[in-house]
Every structure is written in structure tokens, then in C-alpha cells.
Amino acid sequence: MTAVQNEIERRGSRIFELVDKHPQPLFSKAGLYQRLMALSMRDEQFKVQLFRFVDVLPSLRHSREIIGHLNEYFSDDGFGPFVGTGIRLARIVPWVSGPILRWNVSGMAHQFIAGKNSDDVIKTLRKRRSQKIGFTVDLLGEAVVSEADADEYAARYLDLLEKLARETKNWTDPLGKNSELFPVVNLSVKISALYSQINPADPADAIAHLAPKLRPLLRRAREVGAFINFDMESYAHKNTTLELFKTIFREEEFKNWPHAGIVIQAYLRDSEADLRDLIEWGRKRGTRFAVRLVKGAYWDYETTKSLQNGWDCPVYFQKPESDANFETLTRLLLENESIVTAAFGSHNIRSIAHAQAFADELGLDPSRFEFQLLYGMAGPIKRALVEMGYRVREYCPVGELLPGMAYLVRRLLENTSNEGFLRAKFAENVSAKELLRDPTELIKPAVAGIGDPGGSASADGKNSTSLDIASADVYRNSPLVNFAYKDSQEKMQGALREVRKRFGEKYPLVIGGEKVWTDQLTPSVNPSAPDEIVGYGSEAGIPEAERAVKAAREAFGKWSRTPFEERAHLLERAADIMERRRYELSAVEVFEVGKPWNEADGDIREAIDFCRFYAQQMRRLGRPKLTQRVPGEDSYHHYWPRGVTFVIAPWNFPIAILCGMASAGVVTGNTVIMKPSEQSIVCGAMLMQVFEEAGVPSGVLNFLSGHGSVIGAHLVDHKDVDLIAFTGSREVGLKIWESAGITRPGQRELKRVICEMGGKNAMIVDSDADVGEAVGYSIYSAFGFQGQKCSALSRLILLQDNYDRVMERLIPAAASLRVGNPEEPGIMVGPVIDEAAYRRILDYIEVGKSEATLAYQAKDLPPQGYFIPPTIFTDVKPNMRIAREEIFGPVLSVLKVRDLDEALEVANGSDYALTGGFFSRSPANIERVKAQLEAGNVYINRSCTGAIVGRHPFGGFKMSGSGTKAGGEDYLLNFLVPRVVTENTTRHGFAPEETPEYRDEFLPPQQ
């Protein structure tokens, strides 16, 4: 054992001795809380239900609601006699049990919350002072969804600072040494509480808004001799927080002020680089600053989020890795003590003992750094540290119960986590020797697939071409670009610059592998700046349409007989090319259709996914499969392509939808004529380039830009077109549907139509919903990409109980949105597509004004471009035009209803059935809505937009579509004709024993 490990063990054992001298349970409060925690640690299902119940309780106003939820969450009798008795009692005397329960959960929350407000908290702080424990105070609050919320927060911080400064004027340093490094008043600030529109892609905007809100607080802190710490939150905000810190404390006014600190999270893989960078920054600045080192409070969130988005996970996967990194960073901090004051935020005695031992080795006086621990937890450790002569500060959250819930739930999770130190020590009595082990010895060698979002699928080979897998489940989506990285931001900026240089270029038609130029050119304009022409598309007329059909028909013979493996490879090559050209293609979308950065990237990602997913699906469908195993007879079910496919795509997902329909056609062995929307010709031309580079044979994919009313109508009616794949408006969709039903002379096949149309999507907000979440997601669903997604929210249905609470936050949230040119990184609402759309939406707004109440309309809009102000109408009734007709713009109708019955009636009382959503924390209501909401895609407690290929097969019914699901396992079947070939294999009573499950393809005959 090394000398350092020896010393750590010696010190750790001493802390354990002191801790055990005053035995105390894990948490300072005993009784119900202890028992609930013990049960949670034993039973994972109970833990989930308990946390969910704790989360919803503060929003329930009546005893009957509380009892109702209690029943729903704990109806399963497996939850032990203690809870069972409580529920039975509650059923008998609800008016008593409701308040008692609320009181008990309040008690739980108060275990971790030091006071309701600044007056309340001061009592706690005084008590701690007598125990020689300092404080840092943090303000709890609900998620900030508007600038009104953020301003209120900033004012509360200032008020808290004033009161604390006044009340603690005469307090002295508990150690009486080096007190100039550790002001008595210490405030912890969360930057996400101060600006509602932080976008990781745009740190400069965040800093521009945050700095003015912070300066008055910092100024005042400096005047009253207080300390301000920037807490660290989720990874998405990390770079912005660091950048903000470095920017503001380099300003003339603050550059000599030493009482600023920031948090570094050791669970992050890039934390060492960040800390080194901060230290270097501090040395250049020349003034001392502070760092609180923690492991990090968002481990579950970060791993889930990165798994969902296919991102490299920013946190370590093994707990000892975080512990070991904490020690590395501890050493780095203490070695640089001349410029940075260290605070160690941990309850882990090994981590604490290591810091003590290393400080000792460096000869640092214990009064020159501090240990910070959370209020309400690990009391004996705090006491032990004080007794050993160390500086201890407690992190004291202040706030109301409701806003405090998120914090409470995080603490509950942490304290009952399997891997946590506190649980091991206080609940499981793991030995001191075990708990003091060197974490580097506990790190297991990396195993592919463990915890690695990418690893698991490939490690077990499931993501291969095996035929019998539940393929959507193992399909691995292309990751979204993570714009939190500077590198991604720079690449996007670079792509925008490059694409701008190509403005005005001309793009040909592609027919039978030849580039075809026509006399007529259609300009495609930038909707943010209509005098800018992004590019010109050659305009096809009837002769070109005829040529395209001929080319496609000629190519069909060979392509339909090309093995599916080859066709699948073509799609995979196209996907790889789009991956390579990802930023460029996104930039084209920003200019041509006004997509914000992340929406444009989402579109390219979807196109890539369509290609790879359909390639995988084709492999599953391609080989003829035995229907039943019966002796003496083989029957193989298999598919043939239909023929010539005409793809008509919209502009709102200009590459993804075009690519989805065209790639499905191509991979199934059909030949395709693709017509992009007139408003997104350049995007269409880009997709054609991608397929050409991927090696699509002549005539298999033809690119025909032109007017829908001319070539569209001609090709829909054409006898040689066998299949039409359309996504667009209801008006055009219905015409196509009807027209395709007519059989023309010489027509060989019944035309198949895939018809995806619009929506009038509803979101219901239940009376117990999390209002912050419901508002945040509703705003995004209604106004993201200017409301121009067919999945966008247009009817927000609020239960009357919750109406005021939601509206109070909805309007300010809409008023805080960033509307502008989406070339800027953090814009959420850009221009609508063109002048016609602009006029039509404005007309609808006039209709709305005459029918309902205009509750909100944005004012400051860019002077040029097709910008429509985000608009909200209230007092909307189900029969009004704005509640029935698709507007396809940033206009939201709010409908108030009595109860969930009426909400469902209103939601379902629409011609459309595309997407629908529900916000609720009632398990019973959630189940009911899952079953009864009429929509092709039902989303619970999340936005109703953003379907992901394979994960959320997308498409609606009623007047929203013919019931197909893009990105689903059954989508390709729409492009295929099923066949079954049966052979009697018996000869004179003798039948072969073995019949293979799959056989080679029955390729269609040569045409």
C-alpha cells in the first residue's frame, strides 16, 4: 500500500470513528420518511411509484384528488402492509388522510429545504452557525419557461442577498483564519433560472442576456462582501456556464474581485480539460477565484438523454471512474491553490479523506479550503469534519414546496441510488475498509456495450442483417448533431457561409441518368430575405414528364430484378453521403425553407435514418418466407415491386420526406420519379445529387421539378404510373386519391396511393399536469419551425381546474420566444415558407379575431421576410374555423373544457387524426387517453412533434392520411405486391423431410 493510501485510510478511519460516535440515521428526520426510504431501497417499483407520487402531490388541491392518486399509484397490494394500511385508511377517511399525507410529504421536502424564504432560512443558518457550519443558499424554483419567470428569479436572488447580508452583518469566520477567502454570505446561482431561451447552440446569445441580469447581483454582492457561485447544471448548459463565468469576470468591473466561484463536475469526461482551462484563465486574469468540485447530480438524465439522441455520453459509466476523477481533480485544484480556492462538495468519506491527505502532503493549512455538504443529509460527517478542524459549509436550498419538488426528487434518487456512498454506509453498513478503497482499483476494464449507447446493439450482433429480429427495436438511429459543442457550431457556421456562396446556381432535371435543362427556370427564394434567390430549378413540362415515365418504365425491368441486397446497399451509400454532407444539407434547409438549425439537422438525420432503416427492412422482407411447415407442400410468401412510383413531397421536411418516399420506392425495386415541392427545389436537387453519387442506375430515380398543377396532375393520371406516394395538403391529397381511382385505357395495375395529409392536432392538459412541462412542450410543439409541421400542436385543450395556472405561464412563455432569421443559431421561430402562406395565415388570424379572443400576438418582428407573429387565441369553441381548419403556421387555439370526458370529445371531434398529446400525472387518466385519443401518433407528457424513424412510425388516419406509417416496419409493404408460391413436393407419397424457412427470391419476369 502506498503512503498516500495509508494516509487516506488513517484519516478516513478517523472520520468513521467520529461519525460512529454519534450514531444517527441517514437522514435527520425519522419516522415515516425513514420507512419509505427503506422500502424504496428494497423495491425498485415502489421507489418509482413513490417518487412519482411525491412529484404530483403538491399540485393536488383536494383530499379526494390526493386519495385518487394514492389509489392509482399504490393499488398494487405488493407494496407492503404499511402502505396498504395507509391506503385503506385514506379510503375510509379521505378528508383526514389527504392533509396528513400532504403534511408528511412536506416534512420530507423540508428535510432538504432549509426554509420557505429568506426570513425562514435565517433561523436555520443561525443554528448552523452555532455548530460552526457556514452556508451557501440556493433558490429553488420551477422550470423557467419565460422571461417573466426569469426576471422574478433575478429579483428574488437580489432580495435574498440583501436580507442575508443584513442578518449576518456581525457574523465572524468559524475558523478565524484566512477568512478573507470565505465570505460569510455565499449564494449559489443557477443560470438556467435567469434566462428562459438558453440554446446550447448559441452561447453568445445566452451570455448577452444573462450578463445584464447577473451584473446587479454581482455588484451588490461585492458591495456587501458576499460570494457568488455559479452552480453547474446539465451538460447542455455546461459550456455556456463556463463561458459566461470567464466573460463576466474578465470585465473591468469584476476582474479584481476574488469572490466568484464555479462548479466542476467530476463525472464528466471533459472535466479535467475544463478545469485546466479555467486555471489557466484564472492565472491570466490574475485574481483568485473558487471552484466547487462535485461528482454531478444529473447522471441519470445525461445517460438517458444521450441514449435517446445517439450522442456520445458525456459522463463516465462506472461510479469508481467518477470517484477516481474526483481525486485527480482534487489534486489539480490543491496544487493550484495559489490562484484557486477549492471547495469539495461530497459526502463520500473516501473522497473527503483523499482531499485532506493530499492537502496535508502539500502543507496546506486546513483553513484554506472547505468541504461543502447538502442541507438535511450526512449530519454526522459534517460534525466530524468540524471536530477535525476543517471548514464546513452547508448547501441550503430555499423555496416553496411546489417549486422544490424537482430538487427533492433528485435528492431522493441520489440517496437511494445503488451506487451512492451514503446508502452504502448508512443503509447497508458496508465496512469502512471497503468504503475507503482506492477507486482506481475498482474500475473494471471497458466492456463493449456496457452502458455504451452504441455498443450494445453491435456487441451482440443484433443490429446485423439477421432475418427474424424485431428490427425496429434494434435499429440504431443516426445521432443528432449536438450543437452544445463549439466544433459543431463552427461547422454549421462554415456550412452556412459556403452555401451562401452558391446562391443563384441553377439545377437541372435528371431523367434517365441525363441532366436536362429547360428554358423555364423556377427561382427558389430565402423566406427570411425574399430578395435572395437560393437557386433556380429547371421547370419540367409535359414532355419532360413523359420522358421521365418512359425512362422509369424502361429501367424497371432490370431494377425490379436486381437483388434486394444491392438495392439496400445503394440506400446505405446514400445515407453515408448525407452523413458526410450533413452540415451543408442543413444549411441549404436553413436558407431555402427557414428551418432553425436543430430542426434542419433533425430533417437530415431523418433522411439518413429512412435510408438505413428501409435498407434493413428490405433485407427482412426480401427473401421468400415459408408460411407453414406442412409435409409435402411448400408455400413461400414474398413480394414483387409494383412498377413506376411517382413521389410528390412537401417543402416542410424538404429532404427527409422526399427521401423517405423515394428511398422506399427504390429499395423495394420500383423505379421512381420524384417531384420536390416548388418551394424546396434546391433541397430536392441536393438529394438527387446524393443518389447519383451513390450510384443509382439511370432511370431508377428521376428528378422532376415543376408545377404540381401541370406535371403533378399529368403524372397522377398517367396510365404507366402504378403507385403514387404523396405527402401534402388535404385538398391536393383528396384530388389525387379520387383521380387515382379512375382506371385509364392501357393501365395495367390498380393504382396504389400512399396519402399523408394534414392535422389539427390537440394537446390535452390534465388538472394535475406539471404546468412548467406542459407549457414548455406545448410552446415548442405549437411554434417550433413556425408551426409548419403536420404534427404541430394547434388546439390546446385545458381542463378548467388548471386553466388559469397554465395560461398564466403560457402567454409569457410565448412572449419570450426568439423570432428571427434562422441563420442565427438560437432562433426558434423563423419565417413561414412564402408569401402565399404568409397571406393565408394572416387571413386566419383575422378569422380568429372575429371568432375568439386574441390573447397574445408577438410584436417585434424582423422588418423583411415572411415572419408571422406567434399568436394565441382563447375562448375558442370546437365549431369555430380556427379550431377545425388546418392553419399551418404559428397560431395556437386554446379551448377550455370541464373535464377529461369533454376534453376527449373535443380532441376527437376533428376531421383529422394525426398527432395528439396529453399531459397528466394520473396513471388512470393516462391509460384512458392512450386508449381513446384518435390520432395516429399519441404522445404522453412530451411534445407532439419530432417523430423518429423506427421509434415513432409516423402517420395518421381519418382526413390525415391513408393509415400508412413512414419509418415503420410495415411501410415498405405499401410499395410491394404480395405473392405466394405453393408447390406440391410429394412424389408418389414421398415427401422431403427438410423444408428451408427462407429461399432465394422469385424475381419478377423480364418486361
Ligand X SMILES: Cc1cc2nc3c(=O)[nH]c(=O)nc-3n(C[C@H](O)[C@H](O)[C@H](O)COP(=O)(O)OP(=O)(O)OC[C@H]3O[C@@H](n4cnc5c(N)ncnc54)[C@H](O)[C@@H]3O)c2cc1C
Distance CA 535, CA 71 (A): 62
> Which range touches ligand X (CB under 6 A), out of 171-179, 327-335, 366-374, 904-912?
366-374
C-alpha grid cell, residue 172: 465572524
C-alpha grid cell, residue 16: 468513521
Closer residue to ligand X in complex, CB, 292/595: 292
Question: Does 351 participate in binding ligand X (rule CB under 6 A)?
Answer: yes
- In the complex, the smallest distance separating the C-beta of residue 318 from ligand X, rounded to whole angstroms, is 5
Q: Which of 165, 207, 373, 661 binds ligand X (CB under 6 A)?
A: 373
> Which range touches ligand X (CB under 6 A), out of 345-353, 637-645, 836-844, 915-923?
345-353
Question: Does 347 participate in binding ligand X (rule CB under 6 A)?
Answer: yes
Q: Which of 202, 205, 274, 414 binds ligand X (CB under 6 A)?
A: 414
**Interacting residues with ligand X between 69 and 88 (CB under 6 A):** none
Secondary structure class of 110 (helix, strand, coil): helix
- In the complex, the smallest distance separating the C-beta of residue 939 from ligand X, rounded to whole angstroms, is 29
Closer residue to ligand X in complex, CB, 291/725: 291
Question: Does 318 participate in binding ligand X (rule CB under 6 A)?
Answer: yes
> How many residues sit close enough to ligand X to count as binding (CB under 6 A)?
33
- In the complex, the smallest distance separating the C-beta of residue 58 from ligand X, rounded to whole angstroms, is 23
Distance CA 188, CA 531 (A): 49
**Alpha-carbon torsion 835, 841, 847, 853, what sign?**
negative
Cα angle value 561/565/566 (rounded, 5°)? 65
> Which range touches ligand X (CB under 6 A), out of 310-318, 481-489, 673-681, 965-973?
310-318
Closer residue to ligand X in complex, CB, 430/854: 430
Q: Which of 73, 249, 289, 298 binds ligand X (CB under 6 A)?
A: 298
C-alpha grid cell, residue 851: 371568432
Rounded to 5 degrees, what are φ and ψ at 799?
A: -70, 140
Closer residue to ligand X in complex, CB, 395/640: 395
Distance CA 434, CA 430 (A): 7
Q: Is residue 144 exposed (0-12), middle (13-18) or buried (19+ Cβ within 10 Å)?
A: buried
DSSP state of 478: P
The one-letter amino acid code at 720 reads: D
C-alpha grid cell, residue 994: 427438410
Q: Which of 317, 536, 597, 912 binds ligand X (CB under 6 A)?
A: 317
Distance CA 429, CA 488 (A): 47
Q: Are the beta carbons of 120 and 131 closer than 8 angstroms?
A: no
CB within 8 A of 942, min separation 6: which ones? 777, 917
Closer residue to ligand X in complex, CB, 344/780: 344
Question: Does 296 participate in binding ligand X (rule CB under 6 A)?
Answer: yes
The H or E element spanning position 892 is strand 891-897
Q: Are the beta carbons of 655 and 589 closer than 8 angstroms?
A: yes
- In the complex, the smallest distance separating the C-beta of residue 190 from ligand X, rounded to whole angstroms, is 8
Instruction: Tell me which residue of 795, 763, 478, 534 sits closest to 654, measured CA to CA.
Output: 534
**Interacting residues with ligand X between 635 and 664 (CB under 6 A):** none
Q: Is residue 984 exposed (0-12), middle (13-18) or buried (19+ Cβ within 10 Å)?
A: exposed
Question: Does 294 participate in binding ligand X (rule CB under 6 A)?
Answer: yes
The one-letter amino acid code at 543 reads: P
Question: Does 426 participate in binding ligand X (rule CB under 6 A)?
Answer: no
Q: Are the beta carbons of 684 and 497 closer than 8 angstroms?
A: no
- In the complex, the smallest distance separating the C-beta of residue 122 from ligand X, rounded to whole angstroms, is 19
Closer residue to ligand X in complex, CB, 296/669: 296
Closer residue to ligand X in complex, CB, 137/682: 137
Rounded to 5 degrees, what are φ and ψ at 914?
A: -105, -75
The one-letter amino acid code at 556 reads: F
C-alpha grid cell, residue 229: 457561485
Beta bridge partners of 756: 727, 961
> Which range touches ligand X (CB under 6 A), out of 121-129, 239-247, 412-420, 805-813?
412-420
Closer residue to ligand X in complex, CB, 346/816: 346
Instruction: Tell me which residue of 383, 359, 380, 326 sits closest to 178, measured CA to CA.
Output: 359
Question: Does 316 participate in binding ligand X (rule CB under 6 A)?
Answer: yes
Instruction: Tell me which residue of 140, 131, 136 sits closest to 110, measured CA to CA.
Output: 140
Closer residue to ligand X in complex, CB, 316/475: 316
- In the complex, the smallest distance separating the C-beta of residue 341 from ligand X, rounded to whole angstroms, is 14
Q: Which of 112, 299, 691, 873 binds ligand X (CB under 6 A)?
A: 299
Strand order in the sheet with 633-641: 625-626, 633-641, 976-984
User: Distances from the Cα of 781 to the Cαs of 131, 686, 828, 911, in angstroms?
Assistant: 51, 28, 11, 20
Q: Which of 374, 690, 811, 949 binds ligand X (CB under 6 A)?
A: 374
Q: Which of 33, 79, 395, 646 binds ligand X (CB under 6 A)?
A: 395
Q: Are the beta carbons of 538 and 521 closer than 8 angstroms?
A: yes
Closer residue to ligand X in complex, CB, 392/833: 392
Question: Does 194 participate in binding ligand X (rule CB under 6 A)?
Answer: no
- In the complex, the smallest distance separating the C-beta of residue 346 from ligand X, rounded to whole angstroms, is 3
Question: Does 135 participate in binding ligand X (rule CB under 6 A)?
Answer: no
Q: Which of 346, 679, 702, 964 binds ligand X (CB under 6 A)?
A: 346
Is 993 catalytic? The answer is no
- In the complex, the smallest distance separating the C-beta of residue 188 from ligand X, rounded to whole angstroms, is 7
Closer residue to ligand X in complex, CB, 423/623: 423
> Which range touches ligand X (CB under 6 A), out of 47-55, 242-250, 320-328, 593-601?
320-328
**Interacting residues with ligand X between 204 and 233 (CB under 6 A):** 231-232
Question: Does 677 participate in binding ligand X (rule CB under 6 A)?
Answer: no
> Which range touches ligand X (CB under 6 A), out of 319-327, 491-499, 903-911, 959-967?
319-327
Is 756 catalytic? The answer is yes
- In the complex, the smallest distance separating the C-beta of residue 497 from ligand X, rounded to whole angstroms, is 36
Neighbours of 522 (CB within 10 A): 18
CB within 8 A of 256, min separation 6: which ones? 287
Question: Does 420 participate in binding ligand X (rule CB under 6 A)?
Answer: yes
Question: Does 939 participate in binding ligand X (rule CB under 6 A)?
Answer: no
Distance CA 865, CA 591 (A): 12
Closer residue to ligand X in complex, CB, 321/770: 321
The one-letter amino acid code at 673 reads: I
Secondary structure class of 301 (helix, strand, coil): helix
Q: Could you say which of 592, 756, 886, 969 is catalytic? A: 756
Q: Which of 132, 295, 612, 638 binds ligand X (CB under 6 A)?
A: 295
> Which range touches ligand X (CB under 6 A), out of 344-352, 479-487, 525-533, 601-609?
344-352
- In the complex, the smallest distance separating the C-beta of residue 480 from ligand X, rounded to whole angstroms, is 23
The one-letter amino acid code at 186 reads: N
Q: Could you say which of 611, 755, 790, 944 is catalytic? A: 790
- In the complex, the smallest distance separating the C-beta of residue 179 from ligand X, rounded to whole angstroms, is 20
Q: Are the beta carbons of 383 and 21 closer than 8 angstroms?
A: no
- In the complex, the smallest distance separating the C-beta of residue 394 from ligand X, rounded to whole angstroms, is 7
- In the complex, the smallest distance separating the C-beta of residue 386 from ligand X, rounded to whole angstroms, is 15
CA dihedral 743, 746, 752, 753 (to 10 degrees): -70
Q: Is residue 707 exposed (0-12), middle (13-18) or buried (19+ Cβ within 10 Å)?
A: middle
> Which range touches ligand X (CB under 6 A), out of 414-422, 479-487, 774-782, 950-958?
414-422
**Interacting residues with ligand X between 234 and 293 (CB under 6 A):** 263, 265, 267, 292
CB within 8 A of 501, min separation 6: which ones? none
Give the binding site for ligand X (CB under 6 A). Answer: 231-232, 263, 265, 267, 292, 294-299, 315-319, 321-323, 345-348, 351, 372-374, 395, 414, 419-421
Catalytic residues: 756, 790
